[in-house]
């Protein structure tokens, strides 16, 4: 019997017991669908973390003010405002592994253009901030030295601010009012997207630090001291982030004259490591979920073995008749093995469709980011075919070892 004839015979046998065949394939369907869905969800989560890492910038860490205690009560992180622009300059100049150290301060306020207004984040920065965050301008220019030092009324705006205030109009050289102060737009930031906390990074306006201190805040005492809310540090490629973090801490301890055993009045957070840990967690979770889903495939394979053993018992006289007219044991083995693999592959094909529908449904109703790859589909279908071969071999082998006389005597 050639392969084509064996395939036709297997198809006729499965079609003759359509309901039983469908129930047998159910485990494979569920297993393949589960594998595809879990891999798509897990890969989507991993991709989301990678996008956040790209949006954050590579090799970046954040220096923040530490906590302060009053009457024995610890007030928490960032309650001690001691970081200054000079600290950022010292980090950039005295630590060779640091590419840039960008001081920043943040506020909020209402932006007004014509009859339109929008509440947004206001960030005081210098040109190094764009380099630290890998955040280029989509249009416009950088701040010049006179603007940075002279509290110039200029700004860069994010894509969300442009959309809300200007719609389809060109925002370049337009004047908006920031807390009542007229500011001219000299640059539009490229689209950044959401950060790891789900906040819209494009909903922002950036102005020189001196402008934020002297024109938005009004030049209070903390402004005259050039205090900043944080310092974004970008480390050069190829250097160990942990070593650079230790160097930054040692430098700031010297600058703040922190005695041994005393809490540091600052914090250094390695943001890249945090996101990499999230990415690794997503990968581990994907593997665990895929392993659980793979168990369904194994259970489906056991179901195939069970049904094929029943089929061999029911068709023992047929096997004896085939052998009596010249069929070899190899022919019988191939026929039943094809039936088992056909059950697995058909179940896998239906499972692919169910998995794709489930993936689309999760993305639509839950709003999760998913990634349905061809590799995951091929892996699931290929594994289902292997399940058919593995669990179908024993019943097929058992059928092929029957002798014609024993088979014909069987009371089926």
| DSSP per-residue codes, 171-232 | -TT-EEEETTEEEEEEEEEPP--B-TTS-BTTSEEEEEHHHIIIIIS---HHHHTTB-SEEE
Domain limits, the chain? 3-52+277-409, 81-264
The CB density around residue 184, as the number of other CB atoms within 10 Å, is 13
The confidence score (pLDDT) of residue 231 equals 94
The confidence score (pLDDT) of residue 74 equals 43
Contact 206, 129 (CB under 8 A): yes
Instruction: Answer positive or negative: Cα dihedral of 342, 347, 350, 356.
Output: negative
pLDDT tens column, 311-345: 777 777 777 777 777 777 777 788 778 888 888 88
Q: Bridge-partner residues for 231, per DSSP?
A: 63, 103
The confidence score (pLDDT) of residue 204 equals 96
Name residue, tokens 């301890």. 253
The confidence score (pLDDT) of residue 57 equals 54
Q: Bridge-partner residues for 188, per DSSP?
A: 139, 157
- Burial track 255-272 (b if 16+ CB lie within 10 A, e otherwise): bbebeeeeeebbebebbb
* Residues of the chain scoring pLDDT < 70: 1-3, 5-6, 10, 46, 48-58, 67-81, 196-198, 219-225, 271-279, 282, 289-290, 293, 407-412
Query: What is the secondary structure of 360-381 as a DSSP string?
Result: HHIIIII-------HHHHHHHH
Give the integer Cα–Cα distance in Å for 201 and 62: 16
- In three-state secondary structure terms, 264 is coil
The confidence score (pLDDT) of residue 75 equals 47
Give the integer Cα–Cα distance in Å for 217 and 211: 9
Instruction: Answer positive or negative: Cα dihedral of 268, 270, 275, 279.
Output: negative
């Amino acid at each position: 019997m050639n392969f084509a004839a064996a395939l036709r015979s297997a198809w006729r046998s499965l079609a003759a017991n359509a309901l039983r065949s469908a129930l047998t394939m159910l485990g494979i369907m569920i297993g393949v669908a589960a594998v595809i869905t879990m891999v798509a969800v897990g890969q989507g989560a991993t991709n989301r973390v990678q996008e956040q890492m790209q949006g954050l910038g590579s090799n970046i860490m954040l220096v923040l003010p530490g906590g302060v205690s009053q009457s024995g009560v610890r007030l928490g992180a960032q309650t001690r405002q001691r970081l200054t622009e000079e600290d950022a300059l010292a980090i950039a100049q005295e630590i060779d592994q640091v590419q840039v150290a960008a001081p920043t301060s943040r506020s909020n306020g209402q932006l007004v253009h014509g009859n339109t207004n929008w509440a947004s984040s206001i960030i005081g920065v210098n040109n190094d901030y764009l380099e630290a965050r890998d955040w280029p301008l989509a249009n416009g220019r950088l701040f010049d030295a006179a603007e940075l030092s002279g509290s110039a009324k200029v700004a860069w705006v994010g894509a969300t601010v442009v959309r809300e205030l200007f719609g389809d109009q060109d925002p370049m050289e337009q004047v908006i009012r920031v807390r009542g102060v007229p500011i001219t737009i000299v640059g539009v930031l490229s689209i950044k997207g959401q950060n790891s906390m789900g906040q819209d990074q494009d909903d922002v306006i950036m102005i020189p630090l001196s402008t934020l201190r002297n024109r938005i805040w009004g030049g209070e005492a903390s402004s005259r001291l050039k205090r900043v809310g944080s310092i974004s540090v970008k480390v050069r490629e190829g250097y160990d982030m942990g070593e650079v973090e230790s160097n930054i801490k040692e430098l700031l301890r010297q600058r703040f004259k922190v005695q041994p055993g005393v809490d540091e009045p600052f914090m250094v957070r390695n943001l890249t490591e945090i996101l990499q840990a999230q990415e690794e967690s997503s990968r581990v979770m994907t593997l665990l979920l895929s392993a659980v889903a793979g168990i369904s495939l194994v259970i489906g394979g056991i179901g195939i073995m069970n049904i094929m053993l029943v089929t061999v018992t029911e068709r023992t006289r047929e096997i004896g008749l085939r052998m009596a007219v010249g069929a070899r044991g190899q022919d019988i083995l191939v026929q039943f093995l094809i039936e088992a693999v056909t059950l697995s592959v058909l179940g896998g094909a239906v499972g692919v469709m169910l998995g794709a529908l489930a993936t689309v449904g999760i993305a639509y109703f839950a709003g999760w980011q998913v990634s349905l790859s061809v590799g995951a589909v091929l892996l699931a279908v290929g594994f289902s075919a292997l399940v058919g071969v593995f669990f179908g071999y024993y019943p097929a082998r058992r059928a092929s070892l029957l002798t014609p006389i024993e088979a014909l005597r069987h009371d089926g």
